[in-house]
Amino acid sequence: MLLCVRTTIDLDEQLFRELKEEAARRGTTLRQLLHEYLRKAKAAPGRRTRYCFRWKTHRGQVQPGVRLNDRESLFDLMDGR
């Protein structure tokens, strides 16, 4: 059994116009177009951006006592130990 649910959404006026025009070009309804877009968005795997680590230094220098190759000492320093 197919259950249909009604809801109200607020669309930006420009977006609404663009969607209506696209639906008209395709010869479909706005409802069908939105259903298609929502199904595609739901089925698409989540996109993850690649993480890029950026070193933060003070005046181009690492804080005294920091050993970048010693993880535990870094955590101790960050925790104030």
pLDDT of residue 81: 62
**Number of Cβ within a 10 Å radius of residue 34:** 14
Name the residue range of residue 29's domain.
13-43
Count of structural domains, the chain: 1
pLDDT of residue 72: 83
pLDDT in tens, the chain (81 residues): 678 888 899 999 999 999 999 999 999 999 999 999 999 988 887 777 787 777 776 676 777 777 778 888 778 877 776
The owner of tokens 């609404």 is: 16
Q: What is the largest CA-CA distance in the chain?
A: 68
* pTM value surpassing 0.75: no
Q: How far apart are CA 66 and CA 76, in angstroms?
A: 10
Q: How far apart are CA 26 and CA 33, in angstroms?
A: 9
Whether residue 50 is contained in a domain is answered as no
From residue 16, give the alpha-carbon distance in Å to each of 27, 35, 42, 74: 16, 14, 20, 52
